[in-house]
């Protein structure tokens, strides 16, 4: 087979269509282009925009109707860690049963190498290496997530005091 025939065969494999261009016909796959109409930017003058609503800082991030944490959160918490993100089907990113591993004493939480302080609103954020736990206590239960950076995995935590 001649070298020119090999190149022509490879071009045919990549797309054996001929299409017209301003410079004449071309063999292969046409380049795709899109054109979008440009619209005038909206007018954001002070007279046209509605007044901003003041939101008290204490209500940011707290869903309405969520029960507050229990007065005493001390104890051990058990439940499940359910995988919510496993991009590469990593073998150790599986659902986990947690049996009393989250320990709370007063406002201090400990989960293996994780430690953190629980806010008066019941929220806690803890880090151990490239892993994070964040969530909140609702009554005597904990709802949150565990994130691991490498290999990437995420779990939803649903734990209850025993």
Q: Give the pLDDT of residue 63.
A: 58
Q: Say how far apart CA 89 and CA 156 lie, in whole Å.
A: 17
Q: Give the pLDDT of residue 12.
A: 44
Averaged confidence pLDDT in the chain: 76
Q: Say how far apart CA 75 and CA 39 lie, in whole Å.
A: 60
Furthest CA-CA distance within the chain: 85
pLDDT at 60 over 70: no
Q: Give the pLDDT of residue 151.
A: 86
Percent of the chain with pLDDT over 90: 49
Q: What is the mean pLDDT of residues 43-67?
A: 54
Residues in the chain: 162
Q: Give the pLDDT of residue 5.
A: 45
Q: What is the mean pLDDT of residues 72-78?
A: 95
For the entire predicted model, the pTM comes to 0.60
Residue extents of the structural domains in the chain: 1-30, 75-161
CATH number of the 75-161 domain:
2.40.128
Instruction: Give one DSSP letter per residue of the chain, joined into a string.
Output: --HHHHHHHHHHHHH--EEEETTEEEESPPPP----PPPPPP---TTTSPPPPP--GGGTT--TTPPPBPS---EEEEEEEEEEE-TT--TT---EEEEEEEEEETTEEEETTEEEE--TTSEEEEEETTEEEEEEEEBTEEEEEEEETTTTEEEEEEEEE-
Q: Give the pLDDT of residue 91.
A: 81
pLDDT class of 13 with cuts at 50, 70, 90: very low
Tens digit of each residue's pLDDT (9 = 90 or more) over 111-147:
999 999 999 999 999 999 999 999 999 999 999 999 9
């Amino acid at each position: 087979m001649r070298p020119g025939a090999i190149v022509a065969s490879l071009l045919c494999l990549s797309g054996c269509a001929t299409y017209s261009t301003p410079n004449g016909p071309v063999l292969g796959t046409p380049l795709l282009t899109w054109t979008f109409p440009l619209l005038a930017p909206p007018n954001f003058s002070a007279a046209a925009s509605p007044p901003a609503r003041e939101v008290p800082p204490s209500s940011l991030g707290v869903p309405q109707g969520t029960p507050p944490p229990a007065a005493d959160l001390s104890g051990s918490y058990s439940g499940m860690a359910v995988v919510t993100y496993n991009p590469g089907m990593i073998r150790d990113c599986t659902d986990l049963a947690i049996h009393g591993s989250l320990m709370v004493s007063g406002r201090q939480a400990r989960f293996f190498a994780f430690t953190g302080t629980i806010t008066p609103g019941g929220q806690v954020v803890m880090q151990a290496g490239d892993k994070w736990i964040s969530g909140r206590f609702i009554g005597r239960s904990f709802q949150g997530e565990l994130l691991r950076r490498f290999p990437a995995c995420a779990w939803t935590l649903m734990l209850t005091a025993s």
